[in-house]
Structure 1
Amino acid sequence: MLNQLSNSIYYLSNLNEKERPTLGLVCGEKYSLVIDAGNSVQHAKEFLQEIEALNVPPVKYLVITHAHWDHFLGMNEYGATIIVNSLTNQMLNEWRGYSFDDASLKKYVDSNKIAPLCMEIIKNEITNRNSFKLTSADIIFEKSLTIDLGGKVCVLEKIKSTHTDDSTIIYIPDEKVVFLGDSAYGTTTNSLFHYKQSLLLPMIEDIQKYDADHFLLGHESICDKDEMDLYWKELISASTATESTSLEMALKCFERENNRSANDNERFFIKAFVNDQIINS
């Protein structure tokens, strides 16, 4: 079921047990724009059924926030103009060469190109896999792009991100809403979950320059400004305390600087920044 944020903005909530991210819909007077395609054909079809039940203009554009499989594998279903940044397009080009039969999928899992969960979802939720190929993007931008849906402007920007190098966010100025995709999350490298410490403050700066009251993240409930400000505050304080590969030293540094012990969120972030120090050491 779609959630309605305003008269022109809807979203389909994430479903973690199926690795389904939040999908967005922005409606103008002439056209509608979808944010992220879903993790499978079935996910996309379910979203489109919800859209069809609304009295909204036709979907003309589809924006992919980044080239992680759970955000784009449903892209063929929309019949829309597909928009990506140039780095996302480069990464999608590799997927366009993939085959999706059982033997190929197993080979990709064995070589760590895709995760086992990704393989299972592809098997269960993409039909006609032997002939399945991802379509090509129609609009490829470098840094930013503005789309007018008819009285409703969407600003697309490729930003710095602690999650992936190809993150695009979508800002709707008159609604003060920003779709962040997964940009504000960490990532996993060599089995270590980490936030890219060097990109944390540049990312926050890129996002906070937009005057937003509501933030939609790829795998979270909708957040208001106070919730996002707290998230940034905890991330920054955790990062500031972490200057080495020692978790013990980082926790002690946090206590000295804040006159208290780290809470559960901050401990999680500190551990992630320690992992980033380990990866870069």
Structure 2
Amino acid sequence: MLNKLSNSIYYLPNQDERERPTLGVICGDNYSLVIDAGNSVKHAREFIAEVEDLNVPPIKYLVITHAHWDHFLGMNEFDATIIVNTLTNQLIKDWVNLSFDDVSLQSYVEENKMSSLCMEVIKNEIPKRESFKLKNTDISFEKSLTIDLGNKICLIDRVRSTHTDDSTIVFVPNEKVLFLGDSAYGTTKNKLFHYDQDMLLPMMEDIKKYDAKDYLLGHESICDLEEMNVYWDELILANQATQSKSIESALERFKINNKREPNENELFFIKAFVNNQILKSQ
């Protein structure tokens, strides 16, 4: 069920057990804009049905926040102009010519082009897979784009990120609402979950410049400004403590710097930064 953030902004919360990210809709006087397309045909159709029940202006635009499959595989279901940044456009093109029959899906998994989880979602939630073809996007932008939905401005910007190189955010200035997608998260490489330490402060600089009071994230749904600031602070303290591949050294440095043990979140971030040091050494 859609959650109401304001009279013009609604979101469908993430469902991590089904690998479903948060989907959002922003409604102006004339048109509506959707953030992310869902991880499958079924996910997208359920979301569209919920939006139709709101009796809001028609969906004219769909913004894909980045080219991870769980955010764009439902995009065929939207009768809308699909907006992406230029790098996201290039990455999604790699999916346009894929086939989705069982044999092809298995081959993509074996070639590390697709995760086994993605394959299972496709099998379960995309009907008529043998004839399914992902369509192309419509508009690609380099740095930023402004959309007026009718007395509702949406700023669509590409930001630096610890998650991907192609992260896009959507900001609604008069509501002070920022849709972050997955831009504030880490990512997995060589089976190691990590945060890119070199990109951490640039990412925070890009995101903090928006005068937001509510933040919609891909896999936590909604956070307020206080919660986001706690998140940033914990990341910074963990980052400052981690300067090598040694978890023991990082923990000791954290205790010296902060005169306490790390909390659960900080410990998670320290481990991720240690993994980043390991990846950098490979």
Q: TM-score, normalised by structure 1?
A: 0.99
Residues 133-168 of structure 1 deviation map (CA, whole Å, 9 limit, x = unaligned): 111111100011011000000001110000010000
- Indicate the residue corresponding to 2:94 in structure 1: 94
Structure 1 residues 210-229: aligned runs within 5 Å: 210-229=210-229
Alpha-carbon distance in 1 for matches of 2:10, 2:193? 31
Letter in 2 for 1:47: F
- Give the corresponding residue for 2:83: 83
**Range with greater deviation from structure 2 (109-118 or 228-237):** 109-118
Instruction: Measure how far apart 1:109 and its partner are.
Output: 0.6
- Which moves more between the two structures, 31-40 or 133-142? 133-142
CA distance in 2, matches of 1:198, 1:231: 18
Matched, 1:207 2:242: no
Partner of 1:229, secondary structure, is helix
Residue 198 (1) aligns with residue 198 (2): yes
State how far apart, in whole Å, the 2-side matches of 1:248 and 1:113 are.
Answer: 35
Q: Which amino acid aligns with 1:233?
A: D
| 1:228-280 superposed Cα distances (whole Å, 9 cap, x missing partner) | 00000000110011111111001100111101111111010000001001100
Q: Which runs of 4+ in 1 moved over 2 A?
A: none
Match status 1:269 vs 2:232 = no
The residue type equivalent to 2:17 in the other structure is E
Distance 2:188 2:67 in 1: 15
SS of residue paired to 2:174 = helix
Q: Which amino acid aligns with 1:113?
A: K
Structure 1 residues 78-111: Cα deviation after superposition (integer angstroms, max 9, x where no partner): 1100000000000000001211000000000111
Distance in 2 between residues matched to 1:25 and 1:237, nearest whole Å: 34
1:48 and 1:268 map into 2 onto residues whose CA distance is 36
Q: Which residue of 2 aligns with 1:242?
A: 242
User: Structure 1 CA distance, aligned partners of 2:267 and 2:98?
Assistant: 39
Quote the residue 1:42 is aligned against. Answer: 42
Instruction: Give 3-state SS (helix, strand or coil) of 2:275's partner.
Output: helix
Counterpart mapping for 1:161-200 below 5 A:
161-200=161-200
Partners of 2:43 and 2:59 lie apart in 1 by 16
SS of structure 1 residue aligned to 2:54:
coil
Distance 1:29 1:220 in 2: 29
Paired residue secondary structure (2:123): helix
Aligned partner of residue 174 in structure 1, secondary structure = coil
Q: How is 1:101-180 mapped onto 2 (pairs within 5 angstroms)?
A: 101-180=101-180
Uncovered stretches (5+) of structure 2, i.e. residues with no partner: none
- SS at structure 2 position matched to 1:53: helix
The separation in 1 between residues aligned to 2:120 and 2:267, in whole angstroms, is 33
CA distance in 2, matches of 1:63, 1:221: 17
Superposed CA RMSD: 0.5
Q: Please tell me the residue identity of whatever aligns with 1:21.
A: P
| Unpaired segments ≥5 residues, structure 1 | none
1:34-72 deviation line (CA, Å, top 9, x unaligned)? 000000000000000001101200000000000000000
Letter in 1 for 2:18: K
Q: Which amino acid aligns with 2:37?
A: A
Amino acid at match of 1:29: D
